Structure 1
Amino acid sequence: MDLGRTGIWSIELRTADPGAIEDAAAELDAMGWGALWIPGLGGGDILGDSERLLGATRSVRIAVGVLSIWRHRAAEMAAGHARLQQRYGHRLLLGLGVSDAAAAHGAGRAYRPLSDMDAYLDELDGAPAPVPAGERVMAALGPKMIRLAGRRTAGVHPFMVTPEHSAATRELLGPGPLLAPYQAVVPERDPARARAAARGFLGTFLAMDHYARSLLRQGFTEEDLAGGGSDRLVDAVVAWGDTEAIGARVRAHHQAGADHVCLHVVGADSGVPLAEWRELAALAG
């Protein structure tokens, strides 16, 4: 599935007023973004929310980034995916994640990430209407999960990573599979305000073990993870500044081997960050 070079990742495209979501999605489609990504948010009607975006747009791809395999049954996802692909022209990409041990335990299961994901993919393959490998990706961060994604899905959608991580991931994947990293952005030129907005978003994730371990593997230290993130960490995983500065980070991911980079505006004052998306429109297409 061709996602284009850049996309928008947005919590608001799941949580805002439905009418505002539809209007914003139509405008983003017209801007030329290749894909609109929505998060799993711990469950809910991810297929219904995807359909709202599909119905409001004409050509942009809709990507789930990502649903937890503990909160969504594979059979239901496969059936819903097939229905939406038939109705809207194969524009839906399913992103899958193993989340963390707490999510697995909440579902009454032990936590064995690789075998759990492998089994879920088996269920998608064995469904009456299977989800093709090319229409699903994985939120892989570690080497073993990245290799599994390269073998059994279109590729990977890693969260909170640097261009250096994109380069290492491309080396693991080889030249074929999709590499579509998430990139948080703050369209703010003042360093203090930009970093404050970034820390307000990052703090929750830095306390999560799987993301902390990923950042440590990327070369950061425990000290970098403390207090909402050091300047070094914030500047490495959040792109801030004007559109040119943010565009430079996008290009760095592409030069490192990424096929597609999706931008998540954080720290915006408004519920739906239309002003910021319009400011970044030069990076679409």
Structure 2
Amino acid sequence: MNWGMTIPFYDRSLAKSQDLIAELPALGYTDLWSAEVNGVDGFTPLAMASQWAPEARLGSAIVPVSTRGPGLLAMSAATLADLAPGRFVLGIGASSPAIVERWNAGTFDKPYARTRDTLRFLRKALAGEKVSEAYETFEIKGFKLERAPKTPPKIVLAALRPRMLRLAAKEADGAITNWLSPDDVRQVRAEIGEGTELIARLFVCVDEDTERVRQTARWMLASYLTVPVYAAFHDWLGRGEVLRPMHEAWAAGDRQAALKAIPDEVVDALIVHGDAATCRARIKEYMANGLDTPVLAPLPGGDLSIDQAVRELAPER
């Protein structure tokens, strides 16, 4: 059974995470997954974790395909594959216009095609091939890794809707998703079929004060679900009408009205909360519905410190 943790933790820097990261495998965590938005990058935490927790599988969830050149992505992936042979999974995805264009001066154009082309390039490059090829969204002329990994890493795709999910199932080694309920897992699983690994980051708050959790969670939900790719994802999942008042208030610049417009049932569906036993049971609901790898992201501000929450959320053995 896979049971993952997001690193580093929300309440501390990577430099202060070593002891707790090193403890995770003994607690029963099999996987350590990074993220990349505007905090740490997606590779450095995994490089450190490869030494601090040498038993764990390591994965990026995700690094954008449009903020680095294809060759640089291949080099970074090869470095991690060398540090953690057979234990590194490269998660890539389209990301969003805010991250790619506004924060990294890139171009968010043809996100599906760019992700597909990057996947195909990386397959060849990480296998040690010399790549000279014109793809739809870029052209590579004579790239070859100086030292290709002996064990090429698996590559998984961030996928929120049918087209990308089907690409993940057909050409990648798995799909990564985010911000979904246990019931939503069935709909996602139906697109990729059996045999394709499904990974999801689950935001968890070990806190029995339901109203406090909802108040905090609404800010997170509004900031994510108003991003066009996530708005489209939840339209597809069937939440378009219930989230419409939030979108309208957000578009009008009324942040407080947008927060109030998020129904309690949406918060409770998308955030795992309660005491530790309740949270573990909820995580198992995701797995029973077809999720292979839950990647927990414990939120601060609950009844327990992050250290305590990480320990209490560990799988029962």
Q: For residues 110 and 197 of structure 2, what CA distance do their matches in structure 1 show? A: 25
Aligned residue in 2 for 1:186: 205
Q: Which has the higher contact order (CA 8 A, sep 6+)?
A: 1
Give the Cα separation in 2 of the matches to 1:61 and 1:241.
Answer: 28
> Considering only aligned residues, what root-mean-square deviation do their CA atoms show, in Å?
2.6
Choose from 9, 30, 41 the match for 1:12.
9
- Could you tell me which residue of structure 2 aligns to residue 259 of structure 1? 292
Tell me the number of residue pairs that the alignment of Structure 1 and Structure 2 aligns.
279
Q: Counterpart of 1:23 in 2: which secondary structure?
A: helix
Per mean C-alpha deviation after superposition, the further-off stretch among 217-226 and 76-85 is 217-226
Q: Which residue of the partner structure matches residue 117 of structure 1? A: 115
CA gap of 1:102–1:83, structure 2 versus 1, over 3 A, is closer
Residue deviations 1:140-191 (CA, integer Å, cap 9, x gap): 0010000011112111110101122211121111111101111111100121
Contact 1:7–1:37 (CA under 8 A) maintained in structure 2: yes
Please list, as runs of the form range in 1=range in 2, the aligned pairs for 1:1-285 lying within 5 A after superposition: 4-12=1-9, 16-18=13-15, 20-42=16-38, 45-106=41-102, 107-109=105-107, 111-127=109-125, 128-129=144-145, 135-220=154-239, 221=242, 222-223=244-245, 226-227=258-259, 229-268=262-301, 273-281=306-314, 283=315
CA distance in 2, matches of 1:126, 1:280: 39
Sequence identity of aligned pairs in percent? Answer: 25
SS in 2 for 1:137: strand
Per-residue deviation, residues 69-127 of structure 1 (Å, max 9, x unmatched): 11122212222222322232322211111012344545443521221111111221232
Name the CA shift for 1:141/1:120 in 2 (closer, same or farther; >3 Å): same
Cα displacement (A) at 1:269: 6.8
2:177 partner SS: coil
Which structure's CA Rg is the greater one?
Answer: 2
- Counterpart amino acid of 2:308? A
Looking at secondary structure, tell me which structure has more helix per residue.
1
One-letter identity of the residue aligned with 1:111? D
Amino acid at match of 2:113: S
Contact 1:139–1:156 (CA<8 Å) still a contact in 2? yes
Using the alignment, how far apart are the partners of 2:73 and 2:182 within structure 1? 32
1:167-221 Cα distance to aligned partner (Å, 9 max, x none):
1121111111101111111100121112123224323112212112212222222
Name stretches of at least 5 consecutive residues in structure 2 with no aligned partner. 126-143, 248-257
